[in-house]
Amino acid sequence: MITMNELLAIIPATRRDVENWLERMELRTEYEKTVRGRPRNFTKENAIELAALANFVQVRISPSAAAALAHMVVRNARVGKVREWFIGNSSGGGIAVDSLGDDRFRQAGQDNNDLAFTVVNMGEIVRRVDALFAEEKVKA
């Protein structure tokens, strides 16, 4: 388990952002109940979900759509099959791919003739969370 401060060190969000998401959004991983006077701890799946959510929100994906995408990252991480990149289009859709290239952007935008894209490195999100938990294991 990691603390809020450890999580915040690797995600583009504030403590307030995370607390708001936990209070107001339907996130899919199970979170530890808070106890007054004790810091909240997060599991590896919690950390992946919140890190993915924070990165998707940072690139202006709506919080509800970002939560759904974050759940996809968690689900794929469970089985070790996270695609490296998410390419989002301006129509609200997108694709998950292992490499970037012109053909991938054409594929992401072909349905609506999109020319503007958002790119999130999902593989790096999972690697950073993995590294944080490996660090915690060494400390224990």
Given this model, what pLDDT does residue 140 score? 53
Given this model, what pLDDT does residue 73 score? 97
Supply 126's token pair.
């999972």
How do 41-42 and 85-89 pair as beta strands? unpaired
In tens digits, what is the pLDDT along the chain, a chain of 140 residues? 999 999 999 999 999 999 999 999 999 999 998 888 888 999 999 999 999 999 999 998 999 999 999 999 999 999 999 999 999 988 778 899 999 988 888 888 777 777 888 999 999 999 999 999 998 776 65
Return all residues near 8 (Cβ < 8 A) that are at least 6 apart: 14, 15, 18
Return all residues near 109 (Cβ < 8 A) that are at least 6 apart: 89, 115, 117
Given this model, what pLDDT does residue 113 score? 76
Given this model, what pLDDT does residue 107 score? 84
Helix runs in the chain, H state only? 4-8, 15-24, 44-58, 63-78, 102-109, 122-139
Instruction: Name the β-bridge partners of 42.
Output: 2
Return all residues near 138 (Cβ < 8 A) that are at least 6 apart: none
Structural contact between residues 125 and 51, judged by C-beta atoms closer than 8 angstroms: yes
Query: What region, left, alpha or beta, does residue 100 occupy, with left being phi > 0 and alpha being psi -120 to 50 degrees?
Result: beta
Given this model, what pLDDT does residue 94 score? 87
Structural contact between residues 87 and 97, judged by C-beta atoms closer than 8 angstroms: yes
Supply 86's token pair.
């998410």
Query: What region, left, alpha or beta, does residue 92 occupy, with left being phi > 0 and alpha being psi -120 to 50 degrees?
Result: left
